[in-house]
Structures are given as structure tokens and as C-alpha cells.
Structure 1
Amino acid sequence: MTSLPTHTPYDGSSKLFTIGLKPLALADWIEVDEHLLPFLAEKQRLYAEMPGTVFVEEDGTRDAQREVLDLLEAHLPRAFPETHRRASGGVEVIGAAGNPEGDFAKAPLVAASLLVQEDLILMRRGEDGWRLAAGSLCFPSSWSLLEKFGKPLQQIHAPVPGFGPGTRPAELINRMFDGLQGQAVERYNWSIQSGDALYHPLSNVERNERAASRPSRFADGDANAHAFIRVERQTLRKLPVSGDILFTIRIHLDPLAALAHHPDRATLAPAFAAQLEALDIAQLDYKGLTSDRDRLVGVLNQMANAA
């Protein structure tokens, strides 16, 4: 039986191209599910094959990385005793492989990343604002860690319609980062991709080329068979010692066809379709949905009518 989606922000509760931050209880900071070991195995594969692509760090960030690892090691055995246990070297995931080899593997953020399904990004305040100072990004949602490394928020978000330098959302995000104290916050983002690949990068050059040609994601036209909903659960938490901000990204991948089995599909499917229909051309191009939006809306409307 197909499992139901864990999160459905496309129901209108988390609209695309909005900030949408909400308070988050620290007890709910990290998510663990039955995909933990496959996610960690995929991280191990990526670390072995392309460590310089999925991990970056500035000099002077190791103490903050250690702070992240310490927070996770304190939280995980208490919150998830069935999957995480204390060991002589700290905390381990039951049934997971050991840490990778290489100099990069000595980074505490790498060790931290292999305890959780989330990707982990460290943001540090500088003269130009908050910049990406270190990160483990094994499951990018159409962006490149190397392209964003060292850049401030306004440049990181430059390709996002309505969020470029000088826009009100860009200013609001910087203020929110500045104002973040002991509380944690979360937001959701979502997109649609062809296939179920967790590692889903896309550089700015590739994004521009895709927008220019606007190719379909689904070569045979069968979106219902090949489309996967990619939900990002994002959290922000200020580290108490370093003052850096930890940005976590947890990916959930669900077949679009799974919505047909959802008990709330009669309201969920048309709400999803309405979200897609509300996107303008720049937003559709950014999400890579220009050629497929109408096709996807049709599939969702069929689900709703069959309920």
C-alpha cells in the first residue's frame, strides 16, 4: 500500500514565494521516519563520490559545526531512542554505516549530517549580512551549494522571483535572521520533479537554459506516472554560543499518484491545482513547471472528480 504524504503544504497552507515562517517547538526540531537508513546510505554515497560538491566550509567554522553536532547528540537519543543510541564516540544511528574517510570527514558538520535525514547549512553574520559559511547539502532542490557558498542571503535568493536584492522580502528575511534568538522557526517549500532522486542539483546556468527552452519534465507526457512531489521542511535555529544560524532542510518525496489514495483528496487535489494555476510565468520558469503546469492541473482535477 502506498504511504500517505507526511506534509501537504500545497493545500494552500504554505504558498510558494512567500516567507511563511512559523514557530517551532524544539521537541519537533528533527524528523526521523522509516527512510532514515536509505537517506544516510545516499549521503554516504555522495560523500564518497563528490565530497567537494556536497560539503563546504569556511576556515574558522569548526567550533560552530561542533556546536551543531553537540545539539544533535543531546537531542537525538532522547527524542528517537529506537534509532539513535549513545556510543563511545558520541551518538550512532542503529544499523547505519560508519563515517566516510578523508580530511573532509573530520568536519563536525559531516558527522552531524550522518545522524539525520536533514541537510545542514550554517549561516554567519558579516558586513554584507548573513552568508553561507558551511554546509552539508546532499539533497539540493535545484540549486548548487558551490554557487551559493560564501554569498549573503540577498545574493543566494537573487534567482527567486520577488526575492532579489532590494526587494521587501529580501529585507524581511535579513531582519528575521537578525531577530532570531532562542526560538526555532520552520517553513515549507515544495516543487514537482520527474523521478524520485534525492540528489537534485541545478546550477544558475542550467536554470537559465531550462527557462529559455522550457522543456517538459515528462518526456512521454505521463505526469501521473513520473511526477513526484518534493516537499522541503526547513527550520532555522540560532546557535547559542557562536551566534550562527543553523538552517536545516528535510526532503520528503511522494508520488503525485499517491494523492489519489489520500482521504482528503477531494479538497487537497483542487487546492494543489489552484496553487499551480496561481503561479505567474517567472515563478513557473523558476520551478521548471512552465510546460507541465496545465498537464499537472489536469491530473489533479481528475483525482478530485474521481473522489
Structure 2
Amino acid sequence: MEAPMWRNNWGLAPSGQLDKPLYGSSQAAEDPCFQASKMTRADVQGTFLKVEYQTIRRLPKSGYLLFTVKTMADPMSSLEQTPKAAACLAKSIRGMSSTMRVYKGIQNDDICKVVLEYLDSIAVVVVDQATKGEAGVEK
């Protein structure tokens, strides 16, 4: 491996604390806001999107491999500032199997529906901007 490699990973979590279990943990599954019958738009806004940026590279002198992880957590409501990111996340979730969604912290179809409704309400801004010019006039 000569060139550095990178990847990223994400998941929903009940807390922004970086030392708490990530998505898909029993702790996350037991959190009240992740209960299907109780999850609301406000709960989605209060959950956290945790993102890991991971790199691996070979050190030039020793030849050892160095693996790094940078973890960041932001409330889902921060996506309201970046509608394109909300649209991409919704598209990604729609393309996942139910098993992968559980791994990402979306425990069942009811929770998935609430999360997607929230993301779609943000992503509508992207569609609206695409059909209007800079001054907000229909193209």
C-alpha cells in the first residue's frame, strides 16, 4: 500500500458524547427517543449524527501502517443548515437493507419513516432552489 486510503462511516446515536456506544448498541436501542411508538420529529432533531473519518497510510521510514480515526458528532438539526447533506443522507438510508439501517441506528421501519420524513422536509429546500433562480423566481 503506497497511497494513503480513507473512508468514512456514520450512524445515529442518542447522545453526542464520543465515548458512548455508537449506533446499533443496546444502549441506543433502549433510549426512549429510539422507541418506534414514541419517536417524533423533535426526537429526530435531538438525536446525533456521528461521523467517523478514517485513514490508513504507510509510514515512510519504518514501513508500519498508521490507522487514524476522527469522530465527530452533531445534532441532526444541524442538517437544516445543509439541505444537500440531508438529501444525500435520505438517499443513502433509502438504499440500505433493513439490517444495515439497524446497524446505523435506525431500529425499525417506523423510526425509519420518521427520520426520512424529517430529512425530506429539509431536503425540500434543495428541490425548491433547483427550480428557482438566485432571486427566488421560477426558472
Task: Report the TM-score, using the length of structure 1 for normalisation.
Answer: 0.34
CA distance in 2, matches of 1:306, 1:246: 41
Secondary structure at 2:7 match in 1: strand
Pick from 28, 33, 44 the counterpart of residue 218 of structure 1: 33
CA deviation map 1:262-283 (0-9, x unaligned) = 3xx1x33222111111110221
Deviation sequence 1:216-256 (CA, Å, 0-9, x none): 66155233332111111111111234432111000121211
Contact in 2 for aligned 1:193/1:217 (Cα 8 Å): no
Amino acid at match of 1:248: T
Contact kept, 8 Å, 2:14 with 2:31, in 1: the verdict is no
* SS class of match (2:33): coil
For the Cα contact (< 8 Å) 1:231–1:252, is it kept in 2?
yes
Residue pairs, 1:256-295, within 5 angstroms: 256-262=76-82, 265=83, 267-291=84-108, 292-295=111-114
- What SS does structure 1 have at the residue aligned with 2:117? helix
What percent of counterpart residues are identical? 25
Match of 1:191 in 2: 11
SS of corresponding position for 1:199: coil
- Highest Rg: 1 or 2? 1
Query: Do the aligned partners of residues 277 and 217 (structure 1) sit closer, same or farther apart at CA in structure 2, a change above 3 Å counting?
Result: farther
Equivalent residue letter for 2:81 = H
In the superposition, relative to structure 1, how do residues 243 and 297 fare at CA in structure 2: closer, same or farther (>3 Å)?
A: same
Match of residue 85 from structure 1? none
Are positions 1:304 and 2:119 aligned together? no
Counterparts of 1:244 and 1:193 in 2: how far apart (Å)? 33
Q: Which runs of 5+ in 1 are unaligned?
A: 1-179
Q: What secondary structure, in the 3-state scheme, does the structure 2 residue paired with 1:218 have?
A: helix
Cα separation, 2, equivalents of 1:268 and 1:288: 18
Task: Specify which structure has the bigger relative contact order, considering alpha-carbon pairs within 8 angstroms and separated by 6 or more residues.
Answer: 2
Structure 2 unpaired stretches of 5+: 127-139
Two-structure CA RMSD over aligned residues (Å): 2.5
